[in-house]
Amino acid sequence: MIKKPVIVEKWQKKNKFGRPGIALNYTKVAMHYTGQADVPGKNTVSYFNNVVANGYKVNGKYIYASAHFVIDLDGTIYQLIPITERCYCTNSANSYAIGVEVATTGKDNHYTDATYRSMVWLAAWLCAYKGLNPLKDIITHTDVVGKAYKLCPIYMVKNPSKMAQFKKDCKYLVDGKVSVNQIVNCTNGKGKVTIVPTTTTGNNKTLYVKILQDINIHSKPDFTSKSVIGVVTKGGVYTVIEKIKRIGTDMYKLKSGVYITASPKYVEVFEK
């Protein structure tokens, strides 16, 4: 289970316009954008909690709107509504979705690095908490209402490959394949596709190592007796996450975090 991100609580009072107090058992996490680039997310929090919640009319009609979470330009995550209660964020999906509003930046409404990291962390945690699969259970507002109604979040709807990468980043975090610090913002033009350190083959296959003779396992990438922490026995198969280039014999780092020799005399590698 991934660690819960730091959340700043800005609880909304119970009110019929944003926090009706209806129970929610969520099965989806719906992503939104706050609507105007470079406006701080805390303004959105204040709008929901201090304006809409008190009864706010536009063209003579009350606005019904809120979000469980708002993520700011500096990455701060605000929570307005408990995850066990409905909010008014995602139209017909309000009965089953968490609503996450996210502040954006620039002409194209992409995300700051801090915002992107918080988005991945929060959405991944919300999925992990309920055993949801980020690849299918993170949705956009537009997935629910259709493009004719609203492009939301507009950057993700216009760049579906970035939305796909965002969901993958969430999945990698849930699966422990990357840490929060390794999350790379795929939306800022400087970002690159997240490198998942489960392969050294460069073709998305996983590298395995089969042990040919009993060998030592090491806590560090060296062969000194001080670093020996145990033995792996002949016939065992392990996942390689990295090949360590050394002077002399190279070593493999295994998924469990230990190191073994890369000498073909003792081990055989294969991809799958």
CB closer to Zn ion out of 32 and 171: 32
Q: Judged by CB, which is closer to Zn ion: 32, or 86?
A: 32
Q: How far is the CB of 139 from Zn ion (least distance, A)?
A: 11
- Residue nearer to Zn ion on the CB measure, 142 or 194: 142
- Closest CB to Zn ion among residues 150, 255: 150
Under rule CB under 5 A, residue 141 binds Zn ion: yes
Specify whether the CB–CB gap between 32 and 44 falls below 8 A: no
Would you say 32 or 218 has its CB closer to Zn ion? Answer: 32
The answer to whether 93 contacts Zn ion (rule: CB under 5 A) is no
Smallest distance from the beta carbon of 121 to Zn ion, in angstroms? 20
Q: Is 117 in the site for Zn ion (CB under 5 A)?
A: no
Helix or strand or coil: residue 132? coil
Q: Is there a contact between 92 and 22 (Cβ–Cβ < 8 Å)? A: no
- 50-59 contacts, C-beta under 8 A, 24 or more apart: 52/17, 52/18, 53/12, 53/13, 53/15, 53/17, 53/18, 53/19, 54/15, 54/17, 55/15, 55/17, 56/17
Segment holding 101, helix H or strand E: strand 97-102
68 binds Zn ion (CB under 5 A): no
User: Can you give the C-alpha Rg of the chain in angstroms?
Assistant: 23
28 binds Zn ion (CB under 5 A): no
To the nearest whole angstrom, how small is the minimum distance from the Cβ of residue 137 to Zn ion? Answer: 17
List contacts with Zn ion (CB under 5 A). Answer: 32, 141, 152
